[in-house]
Amino acid sequence: MFGEKNKLNENLTKKEKIERLKLKHEPMFEKLGIASPNFIPKCVFGTPPVMYIFPSELKEGKDLYMEKVDKEYNSEDPERILYVWKFNPEYKKKYPQKTLSNSEDTMSIIPFSDFEPIVEDEFEDEFNLPNPDEDLPLSELTIRDLAAIITGKPVSHKAWLNKILK
């Protein structure tokens, strides 16, 4: 039904909505050893997809963790994937800047492809990796794995494949 997903969040403040989204990722932050992550759910815009990052979101100089959401802070990803953008102090030189109409502040326009998915399997014990001396059956190759191989980007849900691509 139209608007059904918004009913869950309609009486919550922006801060409460973000906390609910962050709660799902707390176990991952614990595995990563991050006590106070810079977690900011973001909307993804355009083709190719980009994200607008405000200076206040990067003022601490920390990596940015995000989940894709709509403008009402409802998750847009059924898998609820957590992404990270590694902080680059030269971000204003690397990425296009857009001046806000109501101030002299600027936003950075960062391609969504610069955000890496954090796959839980990446943090499993090294002994869970397949034997590198043996090939896995081709039947275990997914479209996502193939896309990762072709593009050279670590977007597979197989941690061992992402390690090879990195």
Provide the number of structural domains found in the chain. 2
State how far the Cα of 33 lies from the Cα of 35, in Å rounded to an integer: 6
The verdict on 67 and 136 lying in the same domain is: no
CB-count exposure of residue 2 (10 Å: 0-12, 13-18, 19+): exposed
Whole-number Cα distances in Å, 101 to 51, 98, 107, 108, 126: 18, 9, 11, 14, 50
Do 58 and 85 reside in the same domain of the chain?
yes
Dump pLDDT digits (tens) for 13-71. 889 999 999 999 998 888 888 889 999 999 999 999 999 998 889 888 999 999 999 99
Claim: this prediction has a pTM higher than 0.85: no
Domain hosting 45: range is 4-118
Write down which residue in 94, 118, 142 finishes a domain.
Answer: 118
pLDDT single digits (tens) 50-65: 999 988 898 889 999 9
Both 131 and 66 in one domain: the answer is: no
DSSP 10-60: TTS-HHHHHHHHHHHHHHHHHHHT-SS-EE--B--BTTTTEEEE-GGGTTT
Clarify whether residues 114 and 132 are in a common domain. Answer: no
Q: State whether 102 and 44 are in the same domain.
A: yes
